Amino acid sequence: MELSVSDLAVSLGNRRVLRGVSAAFQPGRVTAILGPNGSGKSTLVRTLAGLLDADAGHVRLGAHYINRIEPRERARLIGYLPQDATVHWNVRVRDLVALGRLPHRSPFAGESEADAMAIGAALAATDTFPLAERGADQLSGGERARVLLARVLAGEPQWLLADEPLASLDPVHQLALLDQLRALAASGMGVVIVLHDLIQAARAADDVLLLKQGEVVAFGPAAEALAHQPLREAFGVEVMVIPDEQGRLLPVPIGRTK
């Protein structure tokens, strides 16, 4: 099912954060959202997840308006990984990951076999099985990020919306997580991530949406959106485009636009 926004306008308090945003995200692809600080990236992802109401325009999942879908049903379809990686209690990792199953469990029902399978699969996919019995406080930043991703994956959503999942990860874990997201997209999941790093975006994303001050600067295949002109317009930076060993074009920032 396609996840799309049309002519979206969203305010936080009295401030208009997004205006006139239209885009259609495709399942089976990784779409990166990039833009300067304060350009409305997180707001867009939260609106896509159905957590914020739009002033104007719509978010649709397939034929359905996102805010008309019953919350539990929506939670089964869309997994959202917030930027804030705080875990408020020292909960066991397996219990944290099990939270991803909440939308699948009927009230008062215990954990079903399907739940246990999905939790196990999510732990395995994120390489967090060995952490299952640890408390959340005994995790490093990288481990915590993987555990929180496992929490979303345990819900077996059709869409994964992740807000800056690479923040606070070292290069190895950044690459590992991006590989993971690519694998998920290859399995048919729609993946939308907010990123900061142009090179990582060029490496991992099929499509890129560039935002500036709440408006879309460019939306399309990564190689087109991460070219000189759109990046100059969105970030005010000049880039040098270098092909990597697989022929992907990586934009390396070299200076500010004069």
Partner 1 sequence: MNRALLLILLAALVALLFAGALMAGKVWVPFDAWFSGDPRWWIIAELRLPRALLGLAIGAGLGLTGAVLQGYLRNPLADPAVVGVSSSAALGAVAAIVVFAASAPLTIFAAAMLAACGSMLLLAGLAWRADSQVAFILAGTVLASLGGALTAFLISIAPNPFATAEIIDWIMGALTDRSFAEARLALPFIAAGSALLLLTGRALDALTLGEDAARSLGVRLRRTQLLIVLGAGLTVGASVAVTGVVGFVGLIVPHLLRPLTGAKPSALLLPSALGGAALVLAADSLVRLAPGASEIRLGVAMALLGTPFFFVLLLKMRRSAWN
Positions in the binding site for partner 1 (CB under 8 A) = 46, 49-51, 71-76, 78-82, 84, 86-92, 95-96, 99-100, 102-103, 107, 135, 137-138, 148, 151, 155
Residue number with CB closer to partner 1 (49 or 119): 49
Residue number with CB closer to partner 1 (192 or 234): 192
CB of residue 241 vs partner 1: minimum separation in angstroms?
A: 36
Residue number with CB closer to partner 1 (71 or 130): 71
Long-range residue pairs from 14-18, CB within 8 A, at least 24 positions apart, any chain: 16/55, 16/214, 17/43, 17/214, 18/43, 18/44, 18/47, 18/214, 18/215
CB of residue 150 vs partner 1: minimum separation in angstroms?
A: 12
Residue number with CB closer to partner 1 (74 or 203): 74
CB of residue 14 vs partner 1: minimum separation in angstroms?
A: 15
Distance between CA 79 and CA 59 in Å, rounded? 15
For residue 149, give the DSSP letter: H
CB of residue 189 vs partner 1: minimum separation in angstroms?
A: 16
- Specify whether the backbone of 168 is left (phi greater than 0), alpha (psi in -120 to 50) or beta: left
Residue whose structure tokens are 């719509």: 58
* CB-based contact 151:122 (threshold 8 Å): yes
Residue number with CB closer to partner 1 (135 or 220): 135
Cβ burial of 91 (10 Å; 0-12, 13-18, 19+) is middle
CA-to-CA separations, 204 to 134, 193, 197, in angstroms, rounded: 31, 10, 11
3-state class of 244 per DSSP? Answer: coil
CB of residue 72 vs partner 1: minimum separation in angstroms?
A: 4
Residue number with CB closer to partner 1 (191 or 216): 191
Structure tokens at 201: 């975006």
CB of residue 183 vs partner 1: minimum separation in angstroms?
A: 22
Name, in order, each residue with C-beta under 8 angstroms of 251's C-beta and a sequence gap of 6 or more.
198, 199, 202, 226, 227, 231, 239, 240, 241
